[in-house]
Chains A and B, each alone.
Chain A
Amino acid sequence: MKKNILLVAILLFPILSYGELFLEITKGSEDPYKVAMIPFEGNTIVSKQLNNIMRNDLIRTGEFSILDEELLLPVKIINDELIYSDWKLLGMDYLVTGTIINANNSLDISYEIFDIHKKRKVRSSKVFGIPNQIRQLAHYTSDGIYESITGIKGIAATRLLYVNETKDSSFTSTYKLMLADSDGANEKILLSSSEPIISPSWAPDGKRVAYVSFETGIAKVFIQEIASGKREAVLSQDAQISSPSWSPDGKYLSLTLYQDGNAEIYILRLRDRTLTRMTNQFAIDTESTWSPKGNKILFTSGRSGSPQIYELDLRKLNPKAKRISFEGTYNAKASYLPNEEGIIFVHRSSDGLFHIALKYNRENFIRILTEANMDESPSVAPNGNMVIYGIKEKDLSMLAGFSLSGAKFKLPASEGEVREPAWSNFLR
């Protein structure tokens, strides 16, 4: 048997990216801000590209409706004052203009936002970048525009992790852990394996990821540094470990261990690899996730007879799991909204179909947010306004997303199938 050196660390530079997830916007929302965006002044090609990316970023939030380019009017300025009446007639709320500045070895953008109702400029800002990173620059700019108008931080400049599975002609699968921009562009392969990869999880600093790999024959959790590709198994013992989740301060990893055969939740302190056991009962306890403030953990437990969501308060000395899902016979994979106002999770409705659901703490009912039948692995964007999750359409797994304001989008795989998305934290 040929024994080639098969563990290869491939350094992938931007030019060798894998491909691109194709972003389809399938639905807008009810009452978007109506914005007219004039293509920025400067290099036409760059301007066009920037314009396209920014439009898509803003439309995808579900809170913006960008005026069609063919309907744009020339910007009228008389005595240094913008004439607002034209835009008013078009029903616009805001106008965005900008300039691309080519300086030395950099590409910067300066942009202005005008409030059509208030008839004045409300924002003037500058974004700095470097020439090869036009996409990044566009994302920073659309985030700036988004935040100026809504007061909410934008997520265009965040990133996604997900798993790709591709089968060859003999139906042998290759699994890849992928990294991409929030719009699916700029795909990079972090790990390629002939064995399954599941449960990718972002470290809060965006520099490392944790995931489960079956490469040793059983489920094991690995931590990998994105930049260098350096990776290590979190625990050396030969036991099954899965479901990693980073604490908000990056110092701990909550895990599921199967020490005595039964899935239980443990917290691993990364500094010295000490383990603390958090659950101890006969049923399944898994899918742990931390609260944004780091003092609570949500997890899925089968202790009541079916999977339900429970919460542990880590501030207590001997925390007791508190059940927080009461509707239906299957509630799992919960995560907190960033403002801890509620949780997003997978819910099985009475017809047996799986959907992504939302429950606000102050309400006693759940809201079902998706309508396919095998929706899974939801991940909330760091501004709490969007959720990405996995769907199955015509037997093909792909990613889909929605904004709480009602916009929907899909991210089908460039090849094979994609699933298990994880949304990064803010990266700037």
Chain B
Amino acid sequence: MNKSINSLFALLTILIFSACSSVQITEEEVADQSVAGVSIKSKSTATQAVLANAVVYFEYDQFNLTSKSIQALKGVSELMKRNSKITISIEGHADERGTREYNLALGQRRADSVANYLIANGINRNRLIKKSYGEERPLSLGSNNSAWAKNRRVEIK
């Protein structure tokens, strides 16, 4: 009795774990499912340039805006006031140190800081989409202060 139960059990366990299925997801599909409303390509080159330059950097462990970041954001604010149709995606990042989930949340706080600044400057919050990539999309690979500083950022698209 024991023997058959044991072998049944072993059999079941083995079958379950040997017959794993793998799922594959690639680039094109990702594009199809991208977050609605934000289309980089619909912005003019000039707009894109302004946004590309408006990268906001942060201190280690911090999510508050520095005076330098505010300068960068002034340009964005003005741009958005001039073109009232534009919506932007505000993407927060963190450097690799620390835990991944905390960094995801930290990236989000950084995106929030930027969004809050723009909102305080009169931009409608519905034009802003905030998200975080945590430490998952570093700009600079490497485990040194300079790489880390470049990765603690918010990008606007």
Chain A interface (Cβ < 8 Å from any Cβ of B):
1-4, 6-14, 106, 126-130, 133, 136, 140, 159, 179, 188-196, 198-199, 206-207, 213-219, 224, 226-231, 238, 240, 242-243, 256, 258, 261-263, 284, 286-287, 300, 302, 306-307, 330, 332-333, 346, 348, 354, 374, 376-377, 392, 395, 420, 427-428
A6, A140, A256, A346, most chain B CB atoms within 10 A: A6
Nearest CB of chain B from residue A3's CB, rounded to whole Å: 6
Beyond A6-B29, A191-B22, A306-B61, is A287–B101 a contact (Cβ under 8 Å)? Answer: yes
Cβ–Cβ < 8 Å partners of A198 in chain B: 100-101, 104, 134, 136
Q: Which of B12-58 contact A (CB under 8 A)?
A: 13-30, 33-36
Closest B residue to A179 by beta carbon equals: B20
Cβ–Cβ < 8 Å partners of B34 in chain A: 216-217
Nearest CB of chain A from residue B13's CB, rounded to whole Å: 6
Nearest CB of chain B from residue A358's CB, rounded to whole Å: 16
Cβ–Cβ < 8 Å partners of B21 in chain A: 9-12, 190, 226-230
- Are the CB atoms of B20 and A188 closer together than 8 Å? yes
23 pairs, A vs B, C-beta closer than 8 Å? A7-B25, A12-B20, A12-B21, A130-B10, A133-B14, A140-B10, A193-B25, A195-B30, A198-B104, A215-B30, A217-B34, A224-B23, A226-B21, A227-B19, A229-B22, A258-B105, A258-B108, A261-B115, A262-B109, A284-B105, A287-B102, A330-B61, A346-B99
Nearest CB of chain B from residue A330's CB, rounded to whole Å: 7
- State which of A190, A194, A230, A258 has its C-beta within 8 Å of the C-beta of B26: A194
Nearest CB of chain A from residue B133's CB, rounded to whole Å: 7
CA A188 to CA B132, docked complex, whole Å:
29
- State which of A3, A263, A376 has its C-beta within 8 Å of the C-beta of B100: A376
- Are the CB atoms of B14 and A217 closer together than 8 Å? no
- Are the CB atoms of A216 and B6 closer together than 8 Å? no
Cβ–Cβ < 8 Å partners of A306 in chain B: 61
Nearest CB of chain A from residue B16's CB, rounded to whole Å: 5
Cβ–Cβ < 8 Å partners of A14 in chain B: 18
CA A9 to CA B25, docked complex, whole Å:
9
- State which of A7, A10, A130, A238 has its C-beta within 8 Å of the C-beta of B11: A130
Cβ–Cβ < 8 Å partners of B99 in chain A: 287, 300, 307, 332-333, 346, 376-377
CA A346 to CA B136, docked complex, whole Å:
19
CA A354 to CA B99, docked complex, whole Å:
9
- Are the CB atoms of A7 and B23 closer together than 8 Å? yes
Closest A residue to B36 by beta carbon equals: A238
B14, B15, B26, most chain A CB atoms within 10 A: B26
- Are the CB atoms of B24 and A192 closer together than 8 Å? yes
Cβ–Cβ < 8 Å partners of B29 in chain A: 6-7, 215
CA A9 to CA B14, docked complex, whole Å:
21
Cβ–Cβ < 8 Å partners of A189 in chain B: 22
Closest B residue to A284 by beta carbon equals: B105
- State which of A8, A188, A262 has its C-beta within 8 Å of the C-beta of B112: A262
- State which of A6, A9, A217 has its C-beta within 8 Å of the C-beta of B28: A6
Cβ–Cβ < 8 Å partners of B3 in chain A: 126, 128
- Are the CB atoms of B19 and A11 closer together than 8 Å? yes
Q: 7 additional contacts, CB 8 Å, given A189-B22, A229-B23, A307-B102?
A: A10-B23, A12-B20, A191-B23, A219-B131, A219-B132, A333-B99, A428-B13
Cβ–Cβ < 8 Å partners of B104 in chain A: 198, 219, 242-243, 263, 286
Cβ–Cβ < 8 Å partners of B84 in chain A: none
- Are the CB atoms of B23 and A192 closer together than 8 Å? yes
Cβ–Cβ < 8 Å partners of A228 in chain B: 21
- State which of A133, A140, A193, A243 has its C-beta within 8 Å of the C-beta of B101: A243
Interface check B97, CB cutoff 8 A: yes
- Are the CB atoms of B22 and A192 closer together than 8 Å? yes
